[in-house]
Structure 1
Amino acid sequence: MTTQTSDLLAAAAPRTVDVVRGIADDQLDLPTPCRDYTVRDLLNHLFEVVVNFQDLAEKRDVEWSDKPDHLADGWRDRFETETGRLIAAWADPSTLEGVSPGMGMPQTVIGGMALLDLTVHGWDLAVATDQPYQPAPEAVAELHGLVEQLAPTARKMGVFADPAPTPTTQDPRDLHHLLAHTGRNSTWPSTP
């Protein structure tokens, strides 16, 4: 059994897993498009998302203040394993019912947030470490509506920056526009 959320996660995850596998140890201190996050910081954050959103699928509370270092021996393999568990956790239709007790938002939004982090942070890590990245087109298409929904609150909380400029010649539903709505310039680091 699968859900639209688990199907989208399954499409997006391998692309981000490939980027994570391609990160060299000597790249961990590089900057990323996420303000104040090095590659190491962003990897730890993405690990936290992948693990915590498994619990959120089951409507369990999670502790976001714990900040363990996930980058011990075998972290690339563990990231792939945990990402597989994330997909499996959202495959049961009951995960999409109701409101998340810990987050206070509809479960469908919570699942979308996991997809958003996998997709956007996959791009962040790819550009920070000079790797190619092509997000799952179906994920990008789905995420535009979610980002529009989340943007006002996310900007107030400092999760998204103000929208970045986008080239007017591009499709308004592409990755560049999705990144811009989260405050990222898709030509990072060449332009501010």
Structure 2
Amino acid sequence: MTASLLRPAAAEFLRIAVAVRDLTAPTPCAEYDVRGLLNHLLYWGPWLIAAGRREDPPAPADGEAEAGLVAEGWRADLEKQTETLVEVFGTPSAWTGVTALGAAPMPAAVVGAMVLGEFVLHGWDLARASGQSCAYAPEAATAVYESAVAMGDQARAMGVYGPAVAVAAGASPLDRALGATGRDPAWMP
């Protein structure tokens, strides 16, 4: 997986996210409506940025559910956060060595893969929830799929992924990534 996949994935993610209008629409993530999913992204983005910079994470006053980050100006906040994530993880050195996401040390490449996965998977979630299309590069979707397979058991045990969803043998790289992370590629609101 390379840092070069991030910029185009981030651009597609932002194209989708800033066009969202109905914040109460359901998403493929059963625990989130659109507002909740955007709040999730805005809450965890600073943690990912800190991990990429090898800095201490922010000290939030509230947990994710209570944070209420989708307020006036959320689009600009998400754009700025996404640009910062691309800046931080857009260099190969950000993907080397060890970092920490909070107190949990982990390979920096795993955190970089998480960032790419956030753009691709949650971009698809938002596209489905809002009736938009999405067009991620097959290479980005393949990288997300490979990461999901490698981390699948651990991610499912932590409640990050749902049970894998079977997809057709000739499924696109994006559909394979969706299925590996517990998403039904045919999901509709």
User: After TM superposition, is the score higher than 0.5?
Assistant: yes
More strand by share: 2
Q: How does 1:22-33 map to 2 (within 5 A)?
A: 22-24=19-21, 27-33=22-28
Task: Tell me, in whole angstroms, the C-alpha distance in 1 between the residues paired with 2:86 and 2:78.
Answer: 12
Which residue matches 2:38? 43
Q: What do you get for the CA RMSD once the two structures are aligned? A: 1.9
Q: Give the alignment's TM-score, normalised by structure 1.
A: 0.87
Alignment of 1:57-68 (within 5 A): 57-62=52-57, 63=59, 66-67=63-64, 68=67
Query: In 1, Cα distance between the equivalents of 2:42 and 2:181?
Result: 20
Cα distance in structure 2, aligned partners of 1:103 and 1:85: 22
Q: Does 1:75 align with 2:74?
A: yes
Relative to structure 1, is the Cα distance of residues 92 and 165 closer, same or farther in structure 2, using a 3 angstrom cutoff? closer
Q: Does 1:184 align with 2:176?
A: no
* Unaligned segments of structure 1, at least 5 residues: none
Identical positions, percent: 32
The answer to whether the 8 A contact 1:12-1:115 is kept is yes
Aligned residue identity for 1:33: P
> Does structure 2 conserve the Cα–Cα contact (< 8 Å) formed by 1:59 and 1:95?
no
TM, length-normalised to structure 2: 0.88
Distance 1:79 1:157 in 2: 26
Take 1:158 and 1:152, find their aligned partners in 2: how far apart are those partners?
Answer: 10
| Count of matched residue pairs | 183
Deviations 1:99-123 (A, max 9, x none): 2233321001111111101110000
**Structure 2 runs not aligned, ≥5 long:** none
